[in-house]
């Protein structure tokens, strides 16, 4: 089992008054827990750290959690695990692909978040970018999204992104075909 040590950073929520009740220690503890679960592939625990719309029925929640969990697993099956997180290059430009619970209209009403973007090295695809986004809604700190990506000027980065998206689309198609999570109904 590999463990992950997250480097302590000065972090603040942007435009958030409710999040001011959080201490940096709480935020760092939450991030460490999320990153450790991600590194060891503990997606059952990680999925419960995500925020999902409270308006979801139990069926919608179950389907969305299953879809997010499947996409996360597939993303890191493709990239491999990651190593230490470091500062991004100066003036870095990169493309990312990520997963979140809910939909875009829901998140349009919840714009306050904390975004951590770091360079890392993925075991299978090399140097890339890992993004973790947190939200503090109804006095609860949760994950909004996890994204992976590559520098725009990185060697083969365009192909890496195309291949990642292609891989994830084929895995999603397979989940639909196998009716895993009832994804067919959720997507329509």
Express each pLDDT in 42-96 by its tens digit: 999 999 999 999 999 999 999 999 999 999 999 999 999 998 899 888 888 889 9
Q: 118-172: per-residue pLDDT in tens?
A: 999 999 999 999 999 999 988 889 999 999 999 988 888 889 999 999 999 999 9
In order of their start, the domains of the chain are: 18-179 (3.10.450)
Cβ atoms within 10 Å, residue 91? 5
β-sheet with 140-151: strand ranges across:
94-100, 140-151, 126-137, 114-122
Number of Cα atoms under 13 Å in the Cβ half of residue 99:
21
d(CA 84, CA 180): 33
Instruction: State how far the Cα of 8 lies from the Cα of 47, in Å rounded to an integer.
Output: 24
Residue of 111, 133, 139 whose CA lies nearest to 34: 133
Pull the structure tokens for residue 34: 């999320």
* Strand, coil or helix: 8: coil
Tally helices (H) and strands (E) across the chain: 6, 4
Eight-state DSSP code of residue 68 = H
Q: What is the DSSP letter of 102?
A: S
Percent with pLDDT over 70 in the chain: 85
Q: What is the pLDDT of residue 138?
A: 86
Query: Helix or strand or coil: residue 31?
Result: helix
What's the distance, Cα to Cα, between the start and end of the chain in Å? 39
Angle between helices 157-177 and 58-79 (to 10 degrees): 140
How confident is the model over 5-54, as pLDDT tens digits?
333 333 334 334 445 567 788 888 999 999 999 999 999 999 999 999 99
Tokens 């697993």: give the residue.
73
């Amino acid at each position: 089992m590999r463990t992950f040590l997250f480097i302590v950073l000065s972090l603040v929520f942007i435009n958030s008054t409710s999040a001011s009740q959080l201490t940096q220690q709480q935020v760092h503890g939450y991030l460490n827990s999320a990153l450790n679960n991600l590194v060891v592939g503990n997606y059952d625990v990680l999925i419960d750290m995500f925020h999902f719309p409270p308006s979801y029925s139990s069926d919608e929640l179950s389907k969305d959690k299953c879809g997010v969990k499947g996409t996360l697993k597939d993303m890191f099956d493709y990239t491999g695990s990651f190593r230490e997180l470091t500062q991004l290059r100066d003036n870095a430009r990169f493309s990312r692909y990520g997963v979140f619970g809910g939909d875009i209209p829901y998140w349009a009403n919840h714009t306050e978040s904390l975004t951590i973007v770091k360079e890392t090295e993925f075991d299978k695809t090399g140097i890339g970018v890992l993004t973790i986004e947190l939200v503090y809604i109804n006095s609860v700190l949760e994950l909004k999204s996890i994204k992976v990506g590559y520098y725009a000027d990185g060697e083969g980065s365009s192909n890496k992104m195309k291949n990642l998206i292609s891989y994830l689309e084929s895995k999603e198609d397979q989940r639909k075909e196998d009716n895993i999570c009832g994804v067919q109904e959720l997507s329509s």
